[in-house]
Structure 1
Amino acid sequence: REDPSDAIVLKSGLHLDKPLDILFDTKAGTIGTSSLRRIAQLKQLNPEIKIQDVRGNLNTRLAKLDDKNGDYSALILASAGLKRSDFNGRISHQLRDNWYYAVGQGALAIETRVGDTFTLDLLKPLIDLKTTYECLAERTFMQQLEGGCSVPIGVHTSWNNDNQSLLTLEGIVLSLDGRTKVQNKMTIDLNERLVNANIDDSSCPFNYTDIAINQMSDHIVVNKLRNSAILGYELAQSLTELGAKRILDAIKRQ
């Protein structure tokens, strides 16, 4: 998994000592993004911010940004896409503190046919379990909230530096205007034997989030997969209790 953060990319030739300030200065220009998650977070930071939709692949978006006659002063883009396309130098500021990225952002996956165990066995050496645990927790969280790319749901996953079995998942649900939000975070020790009636071996991971991993014979891995799903499930439940479903239902009615 590449860096999952979002990044501010300033217009070519625009130099700011503190690029983050462009999100708070209403006179600084227009910020380009098509993501409802990013839009909601930007409006939460600055209700008066000017935001304009921007479409196309990465090269097209950067060309629109750098157009001298264009409206954009900056774009919000995924750091992973910029780095993988060798545009590291265009990253003006990475959004990390109090900023939530998309579920699974930065992770690479290979899609296979359902039940194709032969192909899964061939891919087994490529599996990065740390990324799998993160994405399973994130996707379970999103699935329980019945969310997707069309709603402002964000996550942030981290590991305890001293104990790589402690996985923390932070989640947020926002209204489209950023004025209403619910957020929470939870930490689980993946090595523990946790119990949740809604997460069992048959639903984790194959049927729960469509993440398939052919190491189901490894009981330690199975336990960690189950715990990752429990983390996502329980965080979603906590946000539901805080009012996440009301926010999402209101968005669906709009």
Structure 2
Amino acid sequence: MTQTPEVALPCPAGEIRIGGRKSELAVAQSEIVKSLIESHCPATSCSIVAIKTLGDVRLDRALYTFGGKSLWTRELEALLLGNAGNFKQIDLIVHSLKDLPTNLPEEFELGCITEREDPRDALVMKRGSPFMSLGQLPAGSVIGTSSMRRSAQLMMHYPHLRFESVRGNLRSRIRKLDEGDTFACIILAAAGMHRIGLKPRITQYLNSDEMYYSVGQGSLGVEIRRGDPRISKILAHIEHIPSAYRCIAERSLMRHLEGGCSVPLGVNTHYDETTKILSFKAIIVSPDGQECAEASIEMPIKCREDCVKAGIQLGDKLVARGGKKILDAIDYQRINQPPQSSSENSSLFTTSSPTTS
């Protein structure tokens, strides 16, 4: 990000082609960015180009088993560089920031981060269920999630529950929950539920005592060609600085730990606009929920470089408390599905390393 709203230059006129995935949620997110640009830059008009990515097609396996976050970006990044197939070149890509790799190819950069939606995870119970929280579920109940971060943290708190992968768009996952006999509930990002009108289906929001959220969750990240002055000037008008500071710090932490979407890393951040203090907490949990490393910092933040430093500082604290040992011990090649129970998942570790939390 090369520009900030405080020094934003006048918006250049013209058309912008916005690229994104073809799912209902992705299109809704592209529409959010389109609306922001057109409201802040009236002389600019936007069109949306929606395409399917490999991550939309491969619904048979949990994401962390075959390639991680780049599944959502490869085809779209090709269009940023030029025409491809029947599609003309696009000017930017709208991502769920949690799906955007922390290290982008050298041709691209993160152009801006828009105002963050609720970053928490949400519990969605089967329609007609008498239960209102995870703590009420009977032993052996199956929770649907394809996220190792979610299943690891929940297994730490609820070792009597089971976890199985559930893929698809938000509505199809909810349909699998309601119409099938497998799941008692599923865990989804609250922000996505809000953006496509599914907020009424949320049974409970999971706060930090049960679940730290994913790096960047709830935020939209706009990817652009590196050094594109026209698009950078436009995006400077729609970036939300408090959200950007939080997410840059979170992404710095993940980068410092050399993590991707497979890493069972959860975060919780708050930026006080009056005091300029960032409160930053993070946790790393082993896939079986048996080991964890947790740390927190508070740090004054006045620029993006401070955010990067905050992520590195918190990462060092997590490493000192055994977090890197937990990550290094995970045998990703042997993971074909989320954890089922503590006893069934000891094989996810190559070694067992004690940690201090």
Give the whole-Å Cα distance in 1 for the aligned partners of 2:266 and 2:196.
Answer: 24
Give, as a single letter, the amino acid of the residue that structure 2 aligns with 1:245: K
Give, as a single letter, the amino acid of the residue that structure 2 aligns with 1:21: G
**Pairwise CA distance, 1:30:** 1.2
- Contact 1:136 / 1:229 at 8 angstroms: preserved in 2? yes
* 1:9 corresponds to 2:124: yes
Q: Which residue of 2 aligns with 1:202?
A: none
Q: 1:165 aligns with which of 269, 276, 280?
A: 276
Instruction: Compute the TM-score of the two structures, normalised by the length of structure 2.
Output: 0.59
Change (3 A) 1:63 1:164: farther
* 1:174 corresponds to 2:285: yes
Give, as a single letter, the amino acid of the residue that structure 2 aligns with 1:10: M
Q: 1:19 aligns with which of 119, 122, 133?
A: 133
Instruction: Compute the TM-score of the two structures, normalised by the length of structure 1.
Output: 0.81
Q: Which residue of 1 aligns with 2:248?
A: 136
Give, as a single letter, the amino acid of the residue that structure 1 aligns with 2:139: T
**Pairwise CA distance, 1:159:** 3.0
Give the whole-Å Cα distance in 1 for the aligned partners of 2:215 and 2:208.
Answer: 17
- Contact 2:151 / 2:163 at 8 angstroms: preserved in 1? yes
Give, as a single letter, the amino acid of the residue that structure 2 aligns with 1:47: P
Q: 2:263 aligns with which of 112, 133, 151?
A: 151
Give the whole-Å Cα distance in 1 for the aligned partners of 2:297 and 2:238.
Answer: 29
Give, as a single letter, the amino acid of the residue that structure 2 aligns with 1:76: I
Which consecutive aligned stretches of 4+ in structure 1 deviate over 6 angstroms post-superposition? none
Give the whole-Å Cα distance in 1 for the aligned partners of 2:200 and 2:275.
Answer: 31
* 1:187 corresponds to 2:298: yes
Q: Which residue of 1 aligns with 2:154?
A: 42
Q: Which residue of 2 aligns with 1:85?
A: 196
* 1:74 corresponds to 2:185: yes
* 1:226 corresponds to 2:305: yes
Unaligned runs of 5+ in 1: 192-223
Change (3 A) 1:118 1:125: same
- Residue-pair matches, total: 217
Give, as a single letter, the amino acid of the residue that structure 2 aligns with 1:26: A
Cα offsets for 1:208-233 (capped at 9, x unmatched): xxxxxxxxxxxxxxxx2111111111
Give the whole-Å Cα distance in 2 for the aligned partners of 1:22 and 1:118.
Answer: 54
Give, as a single letter, the amino acid of the residue that structure 2 aligns with 1:53: S
Cα offsets for 1:8-55 (capped at 9, x unmatched): 000011133x424245x315x211000000010111012221111101
Give the whole-Å Cα distance in 2 for the aligned partners of 1:227 and 1:237.
Answer: 15
Q: Which residue of 1 aligns with 2:177?
A: 65
SS in 2 for 1:126: coil
Give the whole-Å Cα distance in 2 for the aligned partners of 1:72 and 1:183.
Answer: 30
- Contact 2:152 / 2:286 at 8 angstroms: preserved in 1? yes
SS in 2 for 1:228: helix
Q: Which residue of 1 aligns with 2:232?
A: 120
Unaligned runs of 5+ in 2: 1-115, 333-347, 349-357
Give, as a single letter, the amino acid of the residue that structure 1 aligns with 2:298: T
Give, as a single letter, the amino acid of the residue that structure 2 aligns with 1:121: K
Q: Which residue of 2 aligns with 1:235?
A: 314
Give, as a single letter, the amino acid of the residue that structure 2 aligns with 1:4: P
